[in-house]
């Protein structure tokens, strides 16, 4: 059997994103035991750095061993018990997945659904809370990866406090790319994933819980249905003093996450958010010059995940294949009812650069010229350059 050599790819899909060489180097750091004092210091560093990215002082801020879906499952199974009513906002794939996990816990799902690509307005949430009270929790996706919709959260947290419901937030495609203000916005549970805006390989799920959420975890009527994700057990491993063994942590991945978080710290969150905003504006300008339209409303479009609809005369799957085969560029297609109708383009973390935006637009233009759906060569690059030159400012 031959050695495996991965092809070089520009990762501009919905995840994973490209990884900085320092993070790859961290993965090669020699292993130590998962209870070695030096490794426990690494865990302490990760907790401190994650609190800053989450904008929280929550003591319980950890990295769950598993991908973003592990964070989702841990968030739900620890607070939802049989018979609990949970409102779930559904406007894409991941709201649907949240509802499925609630149901598997024996919870009663109250679905608040809007068309894919839209967001769930606070008035709609208020009506659901009013009609369904009492409810255990409200679960929302901050950044819906399947549609590129950016869900407003700040006005909703006050409603959760009014109706004594926990606020559970999926920040998988937002943490590290746009503001995630856990404390200021009153989130009780927030989870994410390492492979998106944090630009670390997939395999860990950052998670933070408020004291209110922890109280519910500790005072359950019945044991958590998952032993592996039981946060009352995991807490002992992540507590700085008197750590107790729970499972063997993915040591190399935690090395990598520490380095990825250090890179974010060096850049600074305000500068990082501004970078994601600028590059997304330039990409959108170029895509619209190619005759594409964004799926979410312009004021609800994520800067980390651009979702555009595709005219019927463009073979969307063929374009994605050519981008990968000819240019080594990955973008994503649609999921569920959007399959074959949209492209999902990630500009997350290390992948969000001016060079990458221009490279993608240039490749798309070349493919479009060959296939005769681009009639004005250079228009996409010109539109993006206009944004980068500050030409969109009044």
Q: How far apart are CA 280 and CA 286, in angstroms?
A: 10
The pLDDT value recorded for residue 245 is: 84
**Does 163 have pLDDT greater than 70?**
yes
Residue 285, number of CB atoms within 10 A of its CB = 21
Output the pLDDT for position 40: 92
Does the domain made of 20-266 have the CATH classification 4.10.320.10? no
Using a 10 angstrom Cβ sphere, with 0-12 exposed, 13-18 middle and 19 or more buried, the burial of residue 6 is exposed
Q: What is the mean pLDDT of residues 116-141?
A: 96
The mean pLDDT of 305-323, rounded to a whole number, is 97
- Cα–Cα distance, 14 to 195 (Å, whole number): 10
Which are the contacts of 132, defined by CB distance < 8 A and separation ≥ 6? 85, 87, 110
pLDDT tens digit sequence for 249-282: 999 999 999 999 999 999 999 999 999 999 999 9
Q: Are 110 and 87 in contact (CB under 8 A)?
A: yes
* Contact present, 132 and 110 (Cβ < 8 Å): yes
Topology of domain 269-388, CATH: 3.90.1150
In the chain, where the domains are located: 20-266, 269-388
Give the per-residue pLDDT at 393.
60
Confidence of residue 302 (pLDDT cuts 50, 70, 90): very high
Answering whether pTM is above 0.85, one says yes
Instruction: Tell me the backbone φ, ψ of residue 248, rounded to 5 degrees.
Output: -80, 115
Q: Do the beta carbons of residue 358 and residue 384 sit within 8 Å?
A: yes
* pLDDT score of 394 more than 60: no
Quick: pLDDT tens for 216-256.
999 999 999 999 999 999 988 888 777 788 899 999 999 99
- Yes or no: say if 146 and 174 are a contact pair by the CB < 8 Å rule: no
């Amino acid at each position: 059997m031959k050695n495996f050599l991965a092809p070089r790819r520009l990762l501009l899909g919905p995840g994973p994103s490209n990884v900085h060489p320092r993070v790859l180097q961290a993965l090669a750091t020699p292993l130590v035991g998962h209870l070695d004092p030096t490794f426990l210091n690494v865990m302490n560093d990760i907790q401190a750095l994650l609190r800053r990215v989450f904008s929280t002082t929550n003591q319980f801020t950890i990295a769950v061993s598993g991908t973003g879906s592990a964070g989702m499952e841990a968030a739900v199974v620890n607070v939802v018990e049989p018979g609990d009513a949970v409102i779930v906002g559904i406007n894409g794939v991941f709201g649907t997945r949240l509802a499925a996990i609630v149901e598997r816990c024996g919870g009663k799902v109250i679905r608040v659904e809007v068309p894919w690509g839209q967001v769930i307005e606070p008035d709609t949430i208020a009506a659901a809370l009013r009609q369904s009270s009492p409810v255990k929790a409200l679960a929302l996706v901050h950044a819906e990866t399947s549609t590129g919709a950016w869900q407003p959260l700040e006005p909703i947290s006050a409603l959760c406090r009014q109706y004594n419901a926990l606020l559970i937030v999926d920040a998988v495609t937002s943490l590290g790319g746009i503001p995630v203000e856990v404390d200021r916005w009153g989130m009780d549970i927030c989870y994410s994933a390492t492979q998106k805006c944090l630009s670390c390989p997939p395999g860990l799920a950052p998670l933070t819980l408020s004291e209110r959420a922890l109280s519910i975890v500790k005072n359950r009527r019945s044991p958590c249905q998952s032993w592996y994700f039981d946060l009352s057990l995991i807490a002992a491993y992540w507590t700085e003093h008197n750590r107790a063994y729970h499972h063997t942590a993915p040591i190399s991945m935690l090395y990598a996450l520490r380095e990825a978080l250090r890179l974010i710290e060096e850049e600074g969150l305000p500068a990082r958010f501004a970078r994601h905003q600028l590059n997304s504006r330039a990409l959108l300008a170029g895509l619209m010059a190619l005759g594409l339209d964004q799926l979410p409303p312009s004021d609800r479009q994520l800067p980390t995940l651009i979702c555009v609809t595709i005219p019927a005369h463009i073979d969307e799957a063929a374009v994605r294949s050519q981008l990968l085969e000819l240019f080594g560029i990955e973008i994503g297609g649609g999921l569920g009812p959007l399959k074959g109708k949209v492209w999902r383009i990630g500009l997350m973390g290390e992948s969000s650069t001016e060079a990458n935006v221009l490279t993608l637009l240039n490749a798309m233009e070349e493919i479009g010229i060959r296939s005769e759906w681009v009639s004005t060569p250079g228009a996409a690059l010109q539109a993006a350059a206009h944004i980068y030159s500050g030409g969109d400012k009044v």
